[in-house]
A and B are shown apart, each in its own frame.
Chain A
C-alpha cells in the first residue's frame, strides 16, 4: 500500500504506469459482464457484492423478454464463469466504504462482512439449513417465502456457499443458545468467530453497477398493496412464477394458494408519476415484462384457462423484437386495456375488482383473482449514500448523472457506471453498457494490461485412447422445467442400462456450481472418460460442461448433450409419457454418439492486432477511437467521401446537446489519430479468414489484415414517397421528415419562427405490417423538435398525432415538458389514421380525438413525419461476407438478444449502432464502446482458440477427386500436389462438414462428427 506521503518524486513515476486492476461494484448482470470483459482482456478485477451471492435482480426473474429465455438458465453460465474466473476476485457480503486517489491509481476501502461460514470448507450440503430452527422471510423471494438464518441466497447462487444472517441467528444474538449448524456441519465450516474486516484495494479504475430496487407500492394506498392479499408486485410475481420460487413455479396466489385464473397487470406503478411516487421517469422495462409475465403465466396455468389483462397508458415495446412480442401477445388473446385504474377494489373470495374507463369514457368493471402491480425501478437509498460518499453526482431522480456523449462516465473521472444505476433499462442495454464501461475502465489502464492477471492451468488430460468407454450421464431436472414434464428419475435409471454407461444421476440444476464441482469429483472417482449431460441446449451450456471435463482432466470433446428441455419438455408439455420416451431416446442417442468421440487437440490461431471498423458514422468512429486509444491499430472504412454518417443530419440530442459540435470533434479526433487509417469512399468487396486472421479487400483495391471487425454501417430514414404513409410527403413543400426539419434547425431557418401551427405524425412507416417494429427514437426526437419549435415561437400551436408515446427512461421528462408547454397530443390507431389533404395548397389534417370521440381538424403550415428508421438494403451483402445473420426486418442479428448484444454468432465480428436496431446517440455510443470492449478481448491476446472439430482426410480412401475442395467455403481443403490427396488446413476449417457430405468415398470426415457416429445416433434413436 502506498501512503500519500510516500508519493513525492516517485509518485509521478507511478502515475505514469497505472494499476492493472479494476474494481467493479455490484454483482448483477451488468457488474458480472463488466468484470468478465475486463478479466478476459488482461485486467485483474475485484468484484464487490453486498449480498451473499452475485446474480442481482436478473437471478430473481423467471423468464426474460423477448426470447422467453429462462433467466437463471442464461445467467447461470455467466455467474459460474465469473465465480470461477482466475482473474476475478469475487468479494460477496462486502461494501465499498470509500475511494481515494485518481484515475489509474485509486485506493478503495472495502468492508468484508462476516459470512460465519468458511467458504473453503462449505460444501453446500444444506444440512445446516435443515437443522437451523430459525425461519425468516427470504429477501430473495421478497418475503413470499422463508429461509433459515443460515441460508443460500438462491439455489444456483454463486458462490454456492451458505451464509449466516447475523440478525436472525439465535447463537450470534445469544451465544450458547443454539449452534445446531455448527454441530451438524460435516466439514466444520461454521465459524461464529468470523468478524468484519476492512481491506484496501489498489485499482486503476472503478465501475459502479449497483442496479436498482423495485419501487415499493406500500405508500400507494389505492393499490391496496399490503392490505389486499392478492395484490402483488411484478417482482413478487416473478418469484411466484419461478420454479425456484416460493411455490415452485406453480403460480399460487397469496390468499389461498390457488392457481389464479384471471390476472390483471397495472402498469406505471411508481413510474411516470410525479404526484404520489415522485418518479417522473419511465422505468422502460415494465411494459415488456408485464407482457412477458402475461404470456408466461398462461404457460404456467395448469387449468389452461388463465386470462390475462394488462392495463396501461402507453404500450412501450420499443426494443428489438418487442413490438412483435406485443403483437403476438395480442394475437394469443392477452387483453390490453388502454386505461389506468384508480383503485383496486376488493371482491368476494379475496378477488379483486377493477373499475376502469375505456378510452371512450365507458366505465367497465371486471373481477380478477390476482392483480400484479408493474412496479418501476428506483435507486436504493444505500446506493445513493455510497454515490454521495464517492463524489459521484446523481440526478434529481437519484440515478447517476451521465452525458449523452459519454454515456458510461460519471462526474468523477476514472469511475464509470453501467446498468440501471444510470437510468432504468433492460438487460441487453445493461449488458451493452457493462461492456462499454469495461472499455472505459480498461482504456485508461491499457498500458498495464496483463500486469496483474494470472493464467488458468488445467490438470493434464488423462489418456483415454486405450480405455473402453466409461460414460457418465447427468440428467437435469432444471428445477421443474424438465422434471414437470419428463420423468427424470426414469430417464436416469434408464441411462444406467445403456452400453458403456457406468454412472448416471439426476440433478436439480446441473449447471449450478455445486453440481459442477460434484461432477468433477464424480468423473475422477468413477473414472469416467465420456460424459453425457441431458438438460438444456448445447448452444448455451456446452462450453460450461466442457470446461468441467477439462477440470476433471478429461479432454473436453469427450462430451455430448441431450437436449431434453428446449426440444422436449418445453415442446411436449401435454404429452409427458411421450416426452419421457423421447428423453430416453435422446439420451440413448447421445450415449451412442459419445462412445465414438475421441479427444481432440485445442487449436489456436494467432491474432493480427488490427481492427477493421466498417462505417464512419458515430458508432464506427467511437469504436475506432475506443480501440485506437488502447493502442490497437484500426482501419476505418466509410463508403461515403466523408466521415459522420447519419449524425450529420441531426440537430441535437434530446438532452439538448448540439450534435454537430460533437461530431466535428469526433471526426477531427479520428482523422488525426495515429492508430486510425481512414479509408473513404470504399466498401467491402471480399472477406476471408476468421477470428484473429481476417483478410479483407476493399473496393478501392486496398487489402487489410485484421483480427476483428466491427460492423457499424448504420441505417436509413424511411421516406414515404408513396403508399399509405405518404401524407403528402414530396408533394407539399411543407411536409418534412424529422431529419429534414433538423436540417432546417441546423441552418437556423428563420422561416420556422413564423409558423403558426405544426403537426407531427408519429409512427410513419413504423409498427405497420410492412415494418412491424418500433423505431425507438422517433417519439423522443419528434417531441424534442416540437419543443425546439416552441423555443423559436412559443405561440405556435403544436399537435402530436401518436399511437403510443415511447419516451422511455428519462426521456419521459421531455414528454412532460412538451405537454407543459401546451403541445397537444392526440392518439390515433392504425384503423383510424390521420387523413392529410391539401386545400388550396394548404395542409389540412383530420384526426379523431379518442377521448372526446370527435373529429379534430388541424391546419398546419408545417407537417412533420416521424418516419421509421429502416435497415440499409446493402446490409444483407455485408452480413453474408462476414457470415452474420439478419432479423426478418433486415437489421443485423446479434449472437444472443439478452446477453450478447454486440457480438455476432461469428467470432471476432461485432456490431454497433443503427444497423443493430434504431437507437439514440447515447445508446449508439455505448454500444460502440461495448463493441470495442468485446473486440479488445481478441486484440489483447496473441492467439485465440481455433476450431478443434475439423475435417480430417483418410488418404487410403481419398481419390483426389476434389469435390471437397470445391464445396469448402473457406478454402480449407486442397489437393496435395505430391500425394494427389485432399489435405485440410485446420486453421481455416470451420468444421461445417460440407466436404463430408460431398465425398462419395467416405474419405473425409469431421472429427467426432463422422458418419459412423451420426449413424450410431440415428440407429440409437430407433431402438426402443
Chain B
C-alpha cells in the first residue's frame, strides 16, 4: 500500500493557508479524495494577508524544505483586500530571496479558492515536486554540529 518508496526523501513543507479559500480548498480536496503527497503541514491563518515575510523566513529557519502561502484569488478575499497587500509583500520577498541565492521553488505562492479542491491537490503536488527537485533546504538552517551537544 505504502506507495512512497522507503528511500525516497519526503520534504516537509509549511503551508500557510487562508481560512476562507485555500484552507477550505484543502478541505475540499479531502472531501473529494484528491490525493497528494503527505509533505504539506498546513498552518491555518485567517487570511493570506496575515502572512509576513518573517513567518516565511521563520519556517525556513525552522527547517522547512519549502513554504507555500495560499490565499483567495484576487477579488475573493474574505477580508476584501488582504491577499492584495500580501501579493506585494510576497512579490518583493520572492524576488529578494532569489537575489540572495535562495532557490526559486523554496517559497511558493498560490491562489486556491474554496471550490478548488482539485486545484489545491495539484498545487500541493506541484510544490512538493519543486521542493523535492531542490532537495533538503539547509541554507537558512543552523548546522546542528555548530550547536553544543
Contact = CB atoms under 8 A, between A and B. Distances in A.
Interface of A: 67-70, 299, 537-539, 563, 565-568, 570-579, 581-582, 585-586, 589, 876, 880, 883, 885-888, 893, 905-906, 949, 967, 969-970, 990-994, 996-998, 1006, 1009, 1011, 1014-1015, 1017-1019, 1021-1022
A574 B38 CA distance: 10
Contacts of A581: 38
Interface of B: 1-4, 10, 12, 14, 19-21, 23-24, 26-38, 40-47, 49-52, 54-55, 58-59, 62-64, 72, 75-82, 85-86, 89, 113-115, 121
Given A575-B3, A1014-B43, A1018-B14, A299 B50 contact: no
Contacts of A996: 50, 52
14 contacts: A563-B42, A566-B30, A567-B40, A570-B29, A574-B1, A574-B3, A883-B79, A886-B76, A994-B82, A1014-B55, A1015-B58, A1018-B59, A1021-B12, A1022-B63
A583 to B, nearest CB: 10
Nearest to A566: B30
Nearest to A583: B38
Contacts of A1009: 45-46, 50
Contacts of A994: 47, 49-50, 79, 81-82, 85-86
A566 B41 contact: no
A993 B46 contact: yes
Nearest to B36: A571
B43 A566 contact: no
A156 B82 CA distance: 39
Contacts of B37: 572, 575
A571 B80 CA distance: 30
A586 B43 CA distance: 9
Contacts of A537: 23, 27, 30
Contacts of A992: 46-47, 49-50, 78-79, 82
A779 to B, nearest CB: 26
Pick from A572, A582, A1017, A1021 the residue with the most CB of B within 10 Å. Answer: A1021
Contact of A1015 (B19, B55, B80): B55
Contact of B31 (A566, A577, A585, A906): A566
Contacts of A570: 29-31, 33
B77 to A, nearest CB: 8
B41 A997 contact: no
B101 to A, nearest CB: 22
A116 B78 CA distance: 51
B1 A1022 contact: no
A967 B42 CA distance: 25
Nearest to A74: B31
Nearest to A588: B41
B33 A571 contact: yes
A779 B32 CA distance: 30
A572 B75 contact: no
Contacts of B20: 885, 905
A994 B77 CA distance: 12
A571 B44 contact: no
Contacts of B75: 876, 880
Given A883-B79, A1009-B45, A888 B64 contact: no
> Which of B23, B33, B37, B59 has most A Cβ within 10 Å?
B33
B27 A969 contact: no
Given A1018-B62, A1019-B58, 18 more contacts: A67-B31, A68-B31, A70-B31, A537-B27, A567-B40, A570-B29, A571-B38, A575-B37, A585-B41, A969-B80, A991-B46, A992-B46, A992-B49, A993-B47, A994-B47, A997-B51, A1011-B55, A1021-B12
Nearest to B81: A969
A1009 B86 CA distance: 17
B11 to A, nearest CB: 11
A581 B51 CA distance: 26
A1021 B37 CA distance: 16
Nearest to A571: B30
Contact of B41 (A586, A880, A885, A886): A586
B38 A579 contact: yes
Given A885-B114, A1022-B63, A538 B55 contact: no
A1018 B44 contact: no
A1006 to B, nearest CB: 7
Nearest to B116: A888
A301 to B, nearest CB: 12
A15 B36 CA distance: 63
A905 B2 CA distance: 38
Contacts of B46: 949, 990-993, 1006, 1009
Nearest to B85: A967
A573 B41 CA distance: 16
A69 B38 contact: no
A21 B94 CA distance: 60
A997 B50 contact: yes
Nearest to A994: B49
Contact of B12 (A906, A949, A970, A1022): A1022
Contacts of A1022: 12, 62-64
B120 to A, nearest CB: 9
Contacts of A969: 79-82
